[in-house]
Structure 1
Amino acid sequence: MSLPYPALHASHGGTWLATPDGETRALARGEAIRVAADTSVLLLGAAVVGQRLGYADLSGLDLLELFAFLHPARFMVPTPKGLARATGLLPPTRDEDVAPFLREAAAALLSVAEGDWPEREGAWTAAQSMSRLRWPWAPALIDRLARPAQNERWLFSKLPEWHEGAPRPAPRAVTLDSAETQERLAALTGAAAEARPGQRAYAEAAAQAFAPRTMRDTPNLVLAEAGTGIGKTLGYLAPATLWADKAGGAVWVSTYTKALQRQLGHETARVYPDPAVRRTRVVTRKGRENYLCLLNLEDALQGGFAGRAAILAQLVARWAAYSADGDMVGGDLPGWLTTLFRRAGATALTDRRGECVYAGCPHYRKCFIERAARASAEADIVIANHALVMVNAARGRETATRPTRYVFDEGHHLFDAADSMFATALTGQEAIEIRRWVIGPESRSRGRRRGLAARLSDVASYDEQGALAIQAAGEAAAALPSDGWLQRLADGDPFGAIEALLAAVRGLVYARDTAKSDAGYGLETELAEPDAALIDAAAGAAQALDALYRPLVTLGRRLDAVLGEAPDWMDGPARARIEGAIASLGWRAETVGAWLALLARIGGPADPDFVDWLAVDRIEGREWDIGLHRRWLDPTRPFAEAVLKPAHGALVTSATLRAGGDWAVAEARAGAPHLAQPAQRFEAASPFDYAAQAEVLIVTDVKRGDVAALAGAYARLIVAAGGGTLGLFTAIRRLRGVHGRIADRLAREGLPLYAQHVDPIDTGTLVDIFRDDGHASLLGTDALRDGVDVPGHSLRLVVMEGVPWSKPSVLHAARRLADGGAAYEDRLVRARLAQAFGRLIRSSRDRGAFVLLSAAMPSRLLAAFPPGVGIARVTLDEAVARVETRLSSGAPIGQETGEHA
């Protein structure tokens, strides 16, 4: 059956329309918008095409939505090339060939629906539901899908239940034999692998973290800096899996980025080749806000969502039936799926507000979150992230299965993760969330959101003191900010004690602003010498918060008592639900208690352990939050207390652990000074021949702050490299300015350009697209500097707009003053440069150039680059010529150098 729809394709190089009669023609942007507005058209990524045309409301028959329906939980790069690979068609080679290709691809995808394919179950039922929602693809699918012979198992009956297991015994005390460790490493790398002395030495050092502990509250801490190419992943998996086998315990491998979590999941296939065994022995864990909440999904499917959000809910339901773990952020849900719906409803499908009712949920036994928690209790390797590890430890979660051995990969980020985890922020946005958590919906809402009283109604009916505490908490929460608080503050009409406090904060911040207040950026000032208005407002706010804090603590105690008394109605699920409520109450009470401690400091002496400040957060001049902030001067102190001291062993590892400095830097940023026993150190240099594989070019004639000149430099360098360029920026505004000036020009050269904060695509998908196309280039900020792993020809040039100095802030100034002044700043910059350079050479076959567009690059920072790499200060013309010659000719890089790191 021929599709009666034209196909529309838009890129920075132009716009084309392929009609059903086989004609393909170029369109002006205005004409393309008229066609799309009047006609149902086939598209690949409506959000991206709409942005290219400047028509945000563009809609049509999006092939990505069709693919997500037919093949849920299956990976596809959302480009014509990726679609061709998924459908078995030849990819288009020119932009003008894409539109007719989309018609071919649509026919190929719809032909799948006419047969029997692995994800067929549930498709007919879903198509009927989506037809009622007027999904554009529904009529074509219904014409092709055969009605199943018997009723299909719907999602909530199809999902398997998790089962409670017996408590796991404590790990045995074992000592790893060196020969066994090396034997396990050899088995993981394979007999045909090249000999890596550095990797063998690294595995030997990592094994020390698994030795029996000899002192209470003092783990065996190993700090290991291993250069890129050492093979540290298998180097620590060898002793980790060996210890898990012999001791019967679990090792938690913690990362900072989702990209490394995915990579680790793939690497564990070497340890456990059988997928069924691997699913039981290796579990990936994330925070609960990453997982699909089945109760929220049920509400969405039953009318809680409307319009496009309802269609997204149906596609997510299709995915949930085939997902390996229900992870919506970085799991097997395509990262591009939610962006197709402009994120309408996506966040409402997860538990981001701590409103889980645990065993009170009808889907509790099938819950993805609970399944992951129980699977990790039985696993040998748990792949987690720094934030989850710290949350579980600091808030006393899962104490019965608390790990005794950790591996912190990307260990150079531990300081930053701890800084965020142990922070305090008394802001309007944080306060309104607690109000909603306690009170529940205060307006007509189609969602299932409930307040504290509704979630604990059975407890309230059983325990009188608990009921009084719930009532008191609800009354006190009414003093917290409510909808419209920002406008009331702008109008000078705050309501309640907390809004009065925020109004005083706002007034003092603007009064002390030394920059141009209309610059559009956030404003902040030290919490020092507060004025009378702020002191008075803080006193009133403290009374209001204390009125909330006391009943929350009381309610937690009453729930503990209910558990102890075990009333007749309390079965296992009810007990689990109350235990969950206790944990949630503890978290909220802890937050309010931290706010009270921060308010107590106003008007009194400063606490030398903390940095306190006031802030008005703005985006492009629009205020979106206001409040008081507190950070630990050294956040590794609470990290050491909560995580390291209870552990028996920990390995902290990274390619840039010392940040271009000495071991004291690595120890300080890992929390080692707070332990009684010194950390063990290990260092292994990268095996790569950087002198032959890479070169650093410092461009001396691009004027700082000249966006036009900066854009010209990026364009010339990308053309010289033939694409394959990662462009890194320290400011989003300059990134957007450069992208807007050069995207069309590069497209005419056949060089696609993508950009974080510009393209309506999630960062992970942007990296997938970049990796998949050797002619593409990608612009981004620090998330790309630290989290990109693109080996091979797809990344052959890294360009940084300038020296990545820290953004001035109250917190940075305090830490700089306390930790060496300019030397502290230099350490941070060297670490950022080292991480950026580390994106370039990922294997012995890689080759490329690193270009820094800054004449003001101090020589003292050159230690950030690997020893032996060639460094030259050149003009832009010279840099372009060297990039073009060396990357196109295959000549060795780095033979002509001016400076050496």
Structure 2
Amino acid sequence: MIALPYPALHASHGGIWIATEDGTRSVGRGEAVRIAADTPVILLNAPLAAQRLGYADLSGLDLLELFAFLRPARFMVPTPRGLSRTLGIDGPASDAEVAPFLRRAAEAMLAIADGDWPEREGAWHAAQSLARLRWSWAPMLSQRLTRPEKAERWLFSRLPEWSEAPPRTAPRTVTLDPGAVRDQLAGLTGAGAEERDGQRRYAEAAASAFAPRSLRDSPNLVLAEAGTGIGKTLGYLAPASLWATQADGAVWISTFTKALQRQLGHESERLFADPEQRRKRIVTRKGRENYLCLLNLEDALQGGFAGRAAVLAQLVARWAAYSADGDMIGGDLPGWLPSLFRRNGSTALTDRRGECVYAGCPHYRKCFIERAARASAEADIVIANHALVMVNAARGRETGTRPTRYVFDEGHHLFDAADAMFGVALSGQETIELRRWVTGPEGGSRGRRRGLAARLSDVASYDEAGAQAIADAVDAARALPSDGWLQRLAEGQPFGPIEHLLAAVRGLVYARDADGSGEAGYGIETELAEPDPALIDATPGAAAALEQLLRPLMALGRRLEAVLDEAPDWMDGAARARVEGAIASLGWRAETVAAWLALVARIGGPASAEFVDWLAVERIEGREIDIGVHRRWLDPTKPFAETVLKPAHGALVTSATLRAGGDWEVAESRSGAQHLLHPPLRFEAPSPFDYAGRSEVLIVTDIKRGDMGALAAAYARLIVAAQGGTLGLFTAIRRLRAVHARIADRLAREGLPLYAQHVDPIDTGTLVDIFRDDPRASLIGTDALRDGVDVPGRSLRLVVMEGVPWPKPSVLHAARRLANGGSAYDDRLVRARLAQAFGRLIRRADDSGAFVLLSSAMPSRLLSAFPPDTPVARIPLDEAIERVRRLSSVASLGQKAGEHVEPEAR
């Protein structure tokens, strides 16, 4: 291997080190910044090192970028430990050894380029493009990569084309035999596996969701609460796969978190061992905004991106050529890659604005989104998410392949998913997005945005009425907010009727800011009740502007439907698909404008018993980011039941915390079951784990509320006592950041790395991967870490919550609280959150650990959130620390301190 002439830099909370050919030395922050500014330095995760140095402009030879080039679509934990394991070389034993290790790792990685490797094809051309962009690694790669003798198949020539298939016939009517379900479960668990009675009973109960439906709009609904360790994934895969085979139909398994989607992908290997067969029979589906748009990528590669964003586009192109499915969010694109580019533009590589031209795209036949949609139409099992299921049902998408059987895993999140899906917001951000969708680029704006006229130019030239509708829509859209609207509102200079409405909303919200939170820099809101004259006066103009936009959108939709009926000579299959896609997009946008009109009509009018309406100014750290009028269903499971459950023939709603520590009425009210004609089947299987012997709940009684110093000290002492392996959960980002700032350096001196959501420039999924990979690491965060994080083994042995997770006292919550029993409603929500947080601790039978709540105000009535027989003690901090220390010592017996828990491929 050729020795590199460049120094390597490693910055952590424990110090800063520079390694050169002459050796390694510890340096101060100032000297490190000077060296990095003068000389290219080898780094691992430049944004993280920049944050530790306090030098935002830090750049250099980032090993993660080199890995993304050499090993596209491969997973690696982005730490020295993960890098050493991936490369098969000895890793550093301490922080001081990381910098010289980075030099060795760089040499080992560059050595890959000296020979043949699986992802070599396309590398030479990509390196030439990156050299023109002055990518730091390009000169060294160019020295090692020889020009191929044969022309390389580049991205667009490598990707396979999807093909049309005849419509799938409706599923046959079958009844599953209980014995066959048990046999299928036995086959999935494997020969010699211990038979678990709870899992068997669960599978039999889940099979009821696949029985033939007796009445229209009355699905066979099963509510199943299965404690951790029951094995519910295989428990429902058994009847689902059996029904799919016998009925020749598709079962959609819907999750709330991407982590569970990945887990289901791993478990599905038990159904079909052959990878090729598995790809055909089991398909993962997500919303189109998750997938790489090949047209956006092509535009980026051809000059649409500049600077660092252009480098990202080249690396994404390398990945796309080897990706299994083109999923940029939670797929095989490393989650850490976009975060390396700060203001990176990665979101511009997906179709987040609904601007797809469908068959008008030159890459339509290779489109990742279209491929996934067609694959799911032929699959036995479709792994989706709650949002996609609701979007497809509510907007009438893919009606020809609409599933009749659903499994809703993480069913306790259905209420929240429906709440977001069926809500309405007439805000500056939403309206400016619609303006851009209609008009396309305006002024000197850059990017690939295409307005209605550009997307439907050929159709418009054929149909005069359609062309006039497009022109009218573009004219009407100019009444919506445009760039700079927030600044104009702050200066009291709104332009156009919608901006005048938002200015009135802003003024009223600040006027009614009762608790002074507006001065504190947080987002503020007020209920939509008794609006002031300024808001009432702004309403007619806003309503007229929205009506003027809605009319041409609806007219254009009707004209496109007429064109489909007329079937002109030029309309082949591809053109028809394009027009159908445009009709669907227009329908969605027209429904949005109609909902805005209903919301505007509510201003000054009577309140609806079904909805909660309010005004809000959203802010981040004192900076306004959006202003608007909001509407949510008081009970969002009502539209969920109408659009998803009632048309289905059967559904299983399952979770380890479905009842939230309460009764079955809670599960029914939050799943939509109460809106169906017939009651659901209820099933319960408690966890088989020994919570009494392997866990305890410690409620610390001597941490004064609001004492940030005491809170930080408690976290630090508990993490030290556990020797890492701690998941810290906060109810406020501000307190999380304050605690992190106080304890990170102290823990580093103890050799205990601390990572933090909302602090470290790393995506949440990668933070969990890093945490899972290092038993001495700790991770602190908010709600996203409380739900769906699966870290079995010694890597997680302590969960610490800063306080009782009471609901935020918002206008929406106040209305639901009033309608659902007052304080009892609060208690249900808190019990659910506590149960989810505790559920992170014990993930398998040999796990053990402590759950610590740093709040003496924990009411005893909420203790039912924890599994029965779990020991609960109210004790001072010193005693809690001693118990954690003893429990951690016991947990480590029989386990190596450096035990590796293989992270999930992301």
* TM-score after normalising by structure 1: 0.98
- TM-aligned CA deviation for residue 708 of structure 1: 0.9
Match of 1:664 in 2: 665
Match of 1:569 in 2: 570
Distance across 2 between alignment mates of 1:470 and 1:443: 19
Q: After superposition, what is the alpha-carbon deviation per residue over 1:546-586, rounded to whole angstroms, capped at 9, x for unaligned?
A: 00001101100100000110112111111101100000001
Distance across 1 between alignment mates of 2:444 and 2:301: 19
Q: After superposition, what is the alpha-carbon deviation per residue over 1:476-525, rounded to whole angstroms, capped at 9, x for unaligned?
A: 10000000111111111110000000011011111111021211111100
Distance across 1 between alignment mates of 2:21 and 2:437: 53
Match of 1:15 in 2: 16
Match of 1:74 in 2: 74
Q: Which amino acid in structure 2 is aligned with residue 389 of structure 1?
A: V
Distance across 2 between alignment mates of 1:668 and 1:858: 24
Q: Which amino acid in structure 1 is aligned with residue 771 of structure 2?
A: F
- TM-aligned CA deviation for residue 120 of structure 1: 0.4
Q: Which amino acid in structure 2 is aligned with residue 810 of structure 1?
A: V
Where do residues 653-692 of structure 1 align in structure 2 (5 Å cutoff)? 653-692=654-693
Query: Is it true that 1:419 corresponds to 2:430 in the alignment?
Result: no
Match of 1:314 in 2: 314
Distance across 2 between alignment mates of 1:306 and 1:472: 35
Where do residues 441-480 of structure 1 align in structure 2 (5 Å cutoff)? 441-480=441-480
SS at match of 1:147: coil
Distance across 1 between alignment mates of 2:325 and 2:882: 49
SS at match of 1:869: coil
8 Å CA contact retained: 2:794, 2:891: no
- TM-aligned CA deviation for residue 192 of structure 1: 2.0
Q: Which amino acid in structure 2 is aligned with residue 634 of structure 1?
A: D
Match of 1:715 in 2: 716
Distance across 2 between alignment mates of 1:873 and 1:195: 38
Where do residues 78-97 of structure 1 align in structure 2 (5 Å cutoff)? 78-97=78-97
SS at match of 1:173: coil
Match of 2:216 in 1: 216
Match of 1:485 in 2: 485
Match of 2:900 in 1: none
Match of 1:745 in 2: 746
Q: After superposition, what is the alpha-carbon deviation per residue over 1:57-102, rounded to whole angstroms, capped at 9, x for unaligned?
A: 1000000000000000000000000000111101111000000000
Match of 2:360 in 1: 360
Distance across 1 between alignment mates of 2:892 and 2:263: 32
Match of 1:871 in 2: 872
Match of 2:394 in 1: 394
Distance across 2 between alignment mates of 1:659 and 1:235: 21
- Quick one: percent identity of the two aligned structures? 79
RMSD: 0.8
Query: Is it true that 1:99 corresponds to 2:99 in the alignment?
Result: yes
Match of 1:345 in 2: 345
Distance across 1 between alignment mates of 2:118 and 2:359: 33
Distance across 1 between alignment mates of 2:807 and 2:706: 16
SS at match of 2:794: coil
- TM-aligned CA deviation for residue 889 of structure 1: 3.2
Distance across 1 between alignment mates of 2:677 and 2:446: 55
Match of 2:903 in 1: none
SS at match of 1:269: helix
Unaligned runs of 5+ in 2: 894-906
Distance across 2 between alignment mates of 1:337 and 1:650: 37
Match of 2:261 in 1: 261
Query: Is it true that 1:733 corresponds to 2:741 in the alignment?
Result: no
Match of 1:36 in 2: 36
Where do residues 386-785 of structure 1 align in structure 2 (5 Å cutoff)? 386-516=386-516, 517-785=518-786
Unaligned runs of 5+ in 1: 893-901
SS at match of 2:760: coil
Distance across 2 between alignment mates of 1:870 and 1:244: 44
Q: Which amino acid in structure 1 is aligned with residue 622 of structure 2?
A: G
Distance across 1 between alignment mates of 2:712 and 2:788: 24
Match of 2:250 in 1: 250
Q: After superposition, what is the alpha-carbon deviation per residue over 1:419-463, rounded to whole angstroms, capped at 9, x for unaligned?
A: 000000000000000000001110224422111111111111111
Q: How many residues align?
A: 891
Query: Is it true that 1:194 corresponds to 2:182 in the alignment?
Result: no
- TM-aligned CA deviation for residue 538 of structure 1: 1.1
Q: After superposition, what is the alpha-carbon deviation per residue over 1:318-360, rounded to whole angstroms, capped at 9, x for unaligned?
A: 0000000000000000000000001411010000000000000
Distance across 2 between alignment mates of 1:96 and 1:533: 64
Distance across 1 between alignment mates of 2:446 and 2:128: 23
SS at match of 2:130: helix
Where do residues 172-187 of structure 1 align in structure 2 (5 Å cutoff)? 172-187=172-187
Q: Runs (4+) of structure 1 moved beyond 4 Å?
A: none
- TM-aligned CA deviation for residue 787 of structure 1: 2.0
* TM-score after normalising by structure 2: 0.98
Distance across 1 between alignment mates of 2:869 and 2:140: 61
8 Å CA contact retained: 2:849, 2:891: no
Distance across 1 between alignment mates of 2:5 and 2:569: 65
SS at match of 2:322: coil
- TM-aligned CA deviation for residue 890 of structure 1: 4.1
Match of 1:850 in 2: 851
Distance across 2 between alignment mates of 1:677 and 1:463: 50
Match of 1:798 in 2: 799
Q: After superposition, what is the alpha-carbon deviation per residue over 1:779-824, rounded to whole angstroms, capped at 9, x for unaligned?
A: 0000000020000000000000000000110000000000000000
SS at match of 1:787: coil
Distance across 2 between alignment mates of 1:289 and 1:889: 47
SS at match of 1:223: strand
Seen in structure 2, the aligned counterparts of structure 1 residues 35 and 604 have a Cα distance that, compared at 3 Å, is same
Match of 2:904 in 1: none
Match of 1:126 in 2: 126
Q: Which amino acid in structure 1 is aligned with residue 474 of structure 2?
A: G
Q: Which amino acid in structure 1 is aligned with residue 287 of structure 2?
A: G
- TM-aligned CA deviation for residue 531 of structure 1: 1.2
- TM-aligned CA deviation for residue 179 of structure 1: 0.2
Match of 1:238 in 2: 238
Match of 1:385 in 2: 385
Distance across 1 between alignment mates of 2:98 and 2:359: 51
- TM-aligned CA deviation for residue 193 of structure 1: 1.4
Distance across 2 between alignment mates of 1:244 and 1:889: 46
Q: Which amino acid in structure 2 is aligned with residue 150 of structure 1?
A: K
Q: Which amino acid in structure 2 is aligned with residue 791 of structure 1?
A: P
Distance across 1 between alignment mates of 2:643 and 2:299: 37
Q: Which amino acid in structure 1 is aligned with residue 380 of structure 2?
A: D
Q: Which amino acid in structure 1 is aligned with residue 8 of structure 2?
A: A
